[in-house]
Structure formats: structure tokens, C-alpha cells
Structure 1
Amino acid sequence: MRDYLFISDYRQNETCRESFNQLAMQVFQLDFRKWYNQGFWTDDYICYSYMDKDRIIANASINKMVVTAYGKEYKALQIGTVMTHPDYRQQGLSAKLMHHIIDQYEREYDFLYLFANDTVLDFYPKFGFEKVQESRFFLNTAELTKHPRQKSALRKLDGSNEADLALMQEFAHERIPVSTRLGIKNNPSLLMFYFLLAFPDEVYYVEEEDVIVLFSQTDRHLNIFDIISKRPFDVEQVVSHLIHADTNTIQFHFIPDNDNQNIVSARITEPHDTLFVRPFLFDDQQPILFPLTSHA
């Protein structure tokens, strides 16, 4: 391997930051600029990279998390944005970055985790990560539509609007975990990424419930990606403001805090992203689903 420069924690370095973004756009079609130009790249997100001259050629990032699960809190580290420029692959750069991150953080955190696509499923077990099967959660709306409730007007939020952006920031900083079964706390930076970049057209404020909901409706299927609230909420009450007469099923992209027998779970057999954990600390008899908006 050629002698490349190893660098990290360069969010204040404009040249490195822009080069990182160019690589992310090339590999993942992700443009971070709107996120970091507005000050949402914080110390919770740190890049570890190799540089050839003035260009970032490989990267693995860490995102510091607090994971709440079944009455316990865990200090967790999520690894993400693992990428190598096509001209520099097959040189072991990603492996070196992974070893560096594990060596630096494994004694400081309760566990490390990441999400991987199906092209690299054999890569992460080499570093002691265990593949974990997550679950999906669905609700048939038949019972809800039998007892319709007064709906609150939904206000679509626009990240380019100053007042809407301030509301998003307020909720990002003050939110409670979306679920007591498995949730994330104290990570406003990542949530702002989802507000501004991942779901810019799916952010709505439900005034009556005082919650922000990320959701989309496709045909008769409602996807609820996240419910952001500053206090405990009734998930069915929130859902009642989102469904239409033709809504048939709802999929929650988190574990809903509700004992409604109509909410069913099923193991994900063909995930878009596969969860890997090191070490695995959870009860494998309990369903696992990290909230979608916790994926870094």
C-alpha cells in the first residue's frame, strides 16, 4: 500500500470537508453540504480518512450515540459512511480504518454497531461484528377507521424556512426516544440530517399532538419513519391524524410503544441494510429494530 496521509476530525477544515463530501456524492450520492453549512456537523460525528495529496480517498466515520433499550441505557458507537474511491480499492484502506476505530473506542463504549448493504456482508464479521436480524412492525388500520377521531391539520415543514427550521431544531434537541423498547437519545445532529437531507419532503408538524412526524403514503400503505416528541405520546392517537379512508396498512420504522394486538411484527428476511453489532448485548428473544432515523 502506498503511504497515504491518515487524518481525522477535520470538520473545521474546508478543503478536507469538501473532499469528503465529493467522495460521499460519488459513492453514496449523498451531499452533506446543506447539513454542515448550517452548523449541524458536531463533535458527535467524526471522520477517519486517508488522503492522497489533497483528496480524501477512503473514510469510515463514527457517530456517538446513547441507545435506550428495554429499560437500559447504552453508550454506543455507530460506524458509517465507510467508503473508498474506486481508484484506491483493494488496498485494505477500509480495514485499516476499521481497526483504528475499534482499537480507539471499544473500551470506551458498551457496544459498536453499523448497517451494511449486501455487497459487504462478509467484511464486518472479520472485525468481530455479529449479524443481527431485525423485525418489522405493521398495523392494520381496520380498527382505527372504525372509530374515526377529529383530525388535526398537518403542517408541512420546510428546512429553508427560518421558523420551520427553528422548530425542527427545538424538537431535535428536546426529543425523547421514540420507543422505550429501543430508541436513541441526545443526537440532534443526526436527526437534522434526516430533516434536511434524507426526508426533506416528508416532515410534518401535528399541532394538536405537538409532534413532528416523518411519513409518506404510497397507494394504501403508510410508512411512519419517525415520531419526534418532547413528551410521551400515544402512537395510535398520532396515527389517527395521518391515515386516510383508503389507508390499509401502516409500517412503523421503529418499535412502537403500544400493546395493541393489531400491531404485528415479522423478522426481516431481506433487509435493505443489515445490522451488525459488536458485542451483542441484547436479549435475542426481544424484537430488535433500530429506528430508521438512527442509521448514520
Structure 2
Amino acid sequence: MVTRIGAQDRDLQQLLCDYVPQVFRRADFRRWCAWGQWNDDYHAFALMEAGRVVANASVMRMRLVLEGQEVTAYQLGAVGCVPSHRGRGLSRVVMSAALDACGDAPVLLFANPTVRQFYPRFGFQPQRQTLFAAAYDAVPEGPPAPTLSLDDAEVRAGLVALSREGLPSTERFGARGYATAASWPVANGFARPLRQLGSEAWVFAGVEGDTLYLDDVFAREPFDLRAWLPRLIDRPIRAIRFGFTPERYWPGAVEAGEDTEADLFVRDLRLSPEAHRFPIMAHT
């Protein structure tokens, strides 16, 4: 029997926290839960045995933005089975339960390369994700943009507000209201720093070599991103890489190949025929 775990099920949440690192070696849910990020948009569908989670598929309700239109959809994550119980069809059981909860709504997920053959059995189709880049020379100038920490509850609340009420970073294939998804890689130490560009715009960004990686933008109103770049860098740069489709903030960006690490699968979801990249901070 599949157990549904929600925001109020604190004891069961701890069991899921025990399950996650057994299946995903570098992942942990404990800090994310401690930050209060498990809300009513997120549910886990778990199989229990002897007081522990042995298989799971989680569902996060998403406010997708497709060609400027908002669509309610769901994103799956934390799908898997502990090593000792693999080969018994348990992942299929929890996947079926999770998809039943999604009803007829569109569903998406990001898979790792080892399970590419699994999701088409449930009606999912692979979708190409495109990398975007721009050649741009800049040097540091002015006071550095402040770095914000999600350890601070006020910062977490601010990110929630900007994500819920502000502009999506892309209208082509993006989302609104996904601050709790964005906080997960931060809680696990995977994310680039969160930087403040004035009071109404925050970005996840960092420099590697001579390239600025701009992973996502949370802003209430459009703003001049180029004017802020000298304050986002600590060394000269010659290029920018975007973690989203940058048609709003850098319309001159070019396609820089396929994102071979994304492995996006969709079900009942028709995407733009134009090149696109779902914001990486919105992945679950």
C-alpha cells in the first residue's frame, strides 16, 4: 500500500529523509525540511516496509509558464527504490500512485541517464533542452552585489515573494512560484550564490574561469541586466551562460548546443517549437 506524505506528516518526512541518500548519493532533504520548504505543493508517494521508505515518487505542483500562459502542472522527483529492493517493480507502483494524483494535468520530470528507458512506459516523451550563451566582455566595477543566504528566514520569505509575484525568468517555458524548488539545490550545496541586484531583483550567479553562469533571475519588474554585470563578477569575463531561456534579459543570446545533462521528459505537455531551457533552479 502506498503512503502519501504531505506537509503536516513530520514523522513520515523524516523517513523520506532517511530514504533519499540511499538512492541519491549526493542528495539530502533534511536541511530543506528544516527550512520549512515542504509545503502543500509537495507530496511524496512512498512504499513502506519495516518502518522505512523503500520506494518513492514525489510530486510538486507547478505554475508553468508556456508561451506566456500559466498552466497548472506537476513535476516528479525523488523517484526510485533502495538498492536492496530493486527488481521487484516497486518503482512502478509508486510512479502509478503519483501519476494518479496528477490526474489529467501535464507532468514533467528530469531523469538521470541510467533510467531513460523507464519513463516512456508511463507515457512520457523525451524533450530536447538547449544551452544558451552570449559572448560578452566585462570587468568588475562598483561595489559587489550583496550575497544573500537562505539560512536567513527573511531571505527565504523574500525569494518566495519574488518567485510568486514577480516575472518569470522566461515566458517560453518557465514557471512562477517555485522558490521551494529553488531552495533545494541551495540546501544541498549545489547552487551558485544568490546575489541581490537592488531591492526587487535577485539572481543565482557565479563566475567560473572567464564565464559568468547566470542560473536564474527573480525580479518584480524588467531591469537592465547588463548594467549590473560588473557588480556580479570578481574577475574579467568574456562570456555568459544562461540556466534558462534568456529571451527577456538577453535576446541576443545564441544556442550553444544541447543540454545533455537535463534529460527532460514530459507527459500531456506541448512545448514551444522554439529552442528553450526550463530554468535549472526550477528542477526538482
TM over 0.5, yes or no? yes
Paired position in structure 1 for 2:145 = 154
In 2, Cα distance between equivalents of 1:265 and 1:189: 29
Paired position in structure 2 for 1:294 = 282
* SS in structure 2 of the partner of residue 241 of structure 1: helix
Gaps of 5+ in 2: none
Paired position in structure 1 for 2:271 = 282
- What whole-Å deviation, never above 9, does each CA across 1:79-134 have from its counterpart, x for those lacking one? 11102110011111111222222233232x1x111111110001111111111111
Q: CA deviation at 1:76?
A: 1.2
Percent identity over the alignment is 26
Paired position in structure 2 for 1:46 = 43
Amino acid across the alignment from 1:273: A
What TM-score results when the alignment is normalised by the length of structure 2? Answer: 0.89
- Judge conservation of contact 1:67–1:76 (CA < 8 Å) in 2: yes
Answer with 181-190 or 193-202: which moved more: 193-202
- Judge conservation of contact 1:235–1:257 (CA < 8 Å) in 2: no
Amino acid across the alignment from 1:226: D
Gaps of 5+ in 1: none
Cα root mean square deviation, aligned: 2.4
CA 1:25–1:259 in structure 2 vs 1: closer, same or farther (change >3 Å)?
A: closer
* SS in structure 2 of the partner of residue 248 of structure 1: strand
The alignment of Structure 1 onto Structure 2 pairs a total of residues equal to 283
1:216-235 pair list within 5 angstroms = 216-235=206-225
CA 1:198–1:68 in structure 2 vs 1: closer, same or farther (change >3 Å)?
A: farther
CA 1:157–1:256 in structure 2 vs 1: closer, same or farther (change >3 Å)?
A: same
Answer with 79-88 or 157-166: which moved more: 157-166
Q: CA deviation at 1:16?
A: 1.8
The structure having more radius of gyration, on CA atoms, is 1
Instruction: State yes or no: 1:136 paired with 2:126.
Output: no
Amino acid across the alignment from 1:277: V
In 1, Cα distance between equivalents of 2:107 and 2:252: 34
Amino acid across the alignment from 2:169: V
1:151-190 pair list within 5 angstroms = 151-161=142-152, 163-190=154-181
Q: CA deviation at 1:213?
A: 1.3
In 1, Cα distance between equivalents of 2:206 and 2:264: 24
Paired position in structure 2 for 1:204 = 195
Runs of 4+ in 1 over 6 A off after TM superposition: none
Q: CA deviation at 1:64?
A: 0.4
